[in-house]
Amino acid sequence: MDILFDTGLGFTAALFLGRRAENLRASELGSAGRQKGTSMSDYGTETERYTSLKGTRSTENIRPCRAIRVAVSGIPRGYHFTRKDGNWLQEKHKEQILTISSAIELMEIPACGLGDVEGIEVLLAEGGNRIHYPGELDWADYQRFFTPSLRWVQLCSTGFSDNVTPQILDGSVTLTNAPGLHTIPIAESVMAAMLHHAKNLRLRRMDQKRHEWNQLKNDELSGRTVLIIGLGRIGKKVAQLCRAFGMKVIGSKHTVEPVENVDMVFPVHELTEYLPGADYVIVAVPHTPETENLLGEKEFRAMKRSSYLINIGRGKTIEEQVMTKALREEWIAGAYLDAFVEEPLAQDHPLWDLEDVLIVPHDSHSSPYIGDRMVDIFCDNLKRYVGGRPLQNICDPQKGY
């Protein structure tokens, strides 16, 4: 019997738009939307065990009865091994993608040289933001991929507020992100920021430049209290590392529930009750209507003068003018800032000149392992797509995550 389904598309429609869903192979697929023109017979049911050329990995190779054109465009932020042609996949990455199914046709399209994008069904993309960086797709080129053939976009990032198009909203294209891609390097950057502050490394560098032998009064992380706003993947990893340093860890979460390595979890509306006891305040939430300007004058006034702010989330979660005033007038001790309302930060912005502020150009996630992790995330979903199973990490434009 022919069962109509769509790989990825129906799942978004069912989740976001409340379209009529049918119970398709419930034990395997769950609910999926009904989509015209695509049937189980288009993909076939034959599966086989596939062994890679090196003989070190075995995967289930599901072979559809039609070609699936997969395009990769835009270089992941923080990636170290870009190629001269403007692309980034290594040979091992290509092999990993192509071994999923013999029906996959893989294309690499540099962000700076888009040509014909007709017929592309799956897009692995970096960029598509209204403010973009070299090597990424800009907003206009990102939109060009949204032809009638496009069914699924996999982003090389977690945030996606700029990547939502009408096709994603109406369910004709599924958008997935990559939570966990930057978790380790960002969490390590948070620890580096706290140590930089506690051990007076800025002053050490200044003394060295002046050839001065000054002994300083440093602090310890052990026994200090860190407050993490947002206990998602990054927040939980930061909590794990902080616990290893002997810190007391508290944090806010949308759903209040126990979190490993966190001593106390509280709702975000109680933030001002806990800020006075925090030595370090970590902002690790996405930008959503609920989190915009989450930290304003009331919150900065609640912090103690010795507290240190670290923002590795989004710039719009903080009222930037209020934060600048708080830093200039020493309401707090300093800040490590990786995200800003407008990026790149304007050259005449007053934050550049504040001594106790460390400006980071939104690259705390930089790592030599980003490419490998991104391909692993993509391939896991690509296997699901080819096999007609629900995709993971589907983005909800209404929630913002």
Q: How far apart are CA 239 and CA 76, in angstroms?
A: 26
Instruction: Give percent above pLDDT 90 in the chain.
Output: 78
Which amino acid appears at position 95 of this protein? Answer: E
pLDDT category of residue 162 using cuts at 50, 70 and 90 = confident
pLDDT of the residue at 206: 97
Question: Stretch 52-61: mean pLDDT, rounded?
Answer: 36
pLDDT of the residue at 116: 87
The 3-state DSSP class for residue 369 equals coil
The label of the residue with tokens 């305040």 reads 281
Better-scored residue on pLDDT, 3 or 382: 382
Beta strand 137-138 with 122-125: parallel, antiparallel or unpaired? unpaired
Q: How far apart are CA 306 and CA 332, in angstroms?
A: 6
pLDDT tens digit string along 10-52? 333 333 333 323 332 333 333 333 333 333 233 333 333 222 2
The 3-state DSSP class for residue 220 equals coil
The full DSSP string for 106-162 is EEE--TT-----TT--EEEESEEESS--TTSEEHHHHHHT--TT--EEEESSS--TT
Residue pair 116/147 in contact (Cβ under 8 Å)? The answer is no
How crowded is residue 269: how many other Cβ atoms within 10 Å of its Cβ? 8
Question: Stretch 106-112: mean pLDDT, rounded?
Answer: 95
pLDDT tens digit string along 280-337? 999 999 988 999 999 999 999 999 999 999 999 999 999 999 999 999 999 999 999 9
| DSSP H or E run through 283 | strand 280-283
Asked if pLDDT for residue 189 goes beyond 80, the answer is yes
Beta bridge partners of 379: none
The label of the residue with tokens 């029906």 reads 103
pLDDT of the residue at 398: 80
Better-scored residue on pLDDT, 235 or 15: 235
pLDDT category of residue 64 using cuts at 50, 70 and 90 = low
The CA-atom distances, in angstroms, between 391 and each of 11, 370, 385 are 8, 21, 7
Asked if pLDDT for residue 7 goes beyond 70, the answer is no
In this structure, the dihedral spanned by the alpha carbons of residues 130, 132, 136 and 142, taken in order and rounded to 10 degrees, is 0
The label of the residue with tokens 């490394």 reads 201
pLDDT category of residue 61 using cuts at 50, 70 and 90 = low
Beta strand 248-252 with 225-229: parallel, antiparallel or unpaired? parallel
The full DSSP string for 339-356 is --SSSSPPTT-GGGG-TT
The CA-atom distances, in angstroms, between 184 and each of 180, 236, 281, 294 are 8, 11, 19, 25
* 395 token code pair: 């983005």
Residue pair 273/220 in contact (Cβ under 8 Å)? The answer is no
pLDDT category of residue 127 using cuts at 50, 70 and 90 = very high
Long-range contacts of 376-379 (CB under 8 A, 24+ apart): 376/96, 377/154, 377/178, 377/180, 377/181, 378/97, 378/124, 378/154, 378/178, 379/96, 379/97, 379/100
pLDDT of the residue at 399: 78
Span between the terminal Cα atoms of the chain, in Å: 37
Instruction: Give percent above pLDDT 70 in the chain.
Output: 84
Q: How far apart are CA 396 and CA 401, in angstroms?
A: 6
pLDDT category of residue 400 using cuts at 50, 70 and 90 = confident
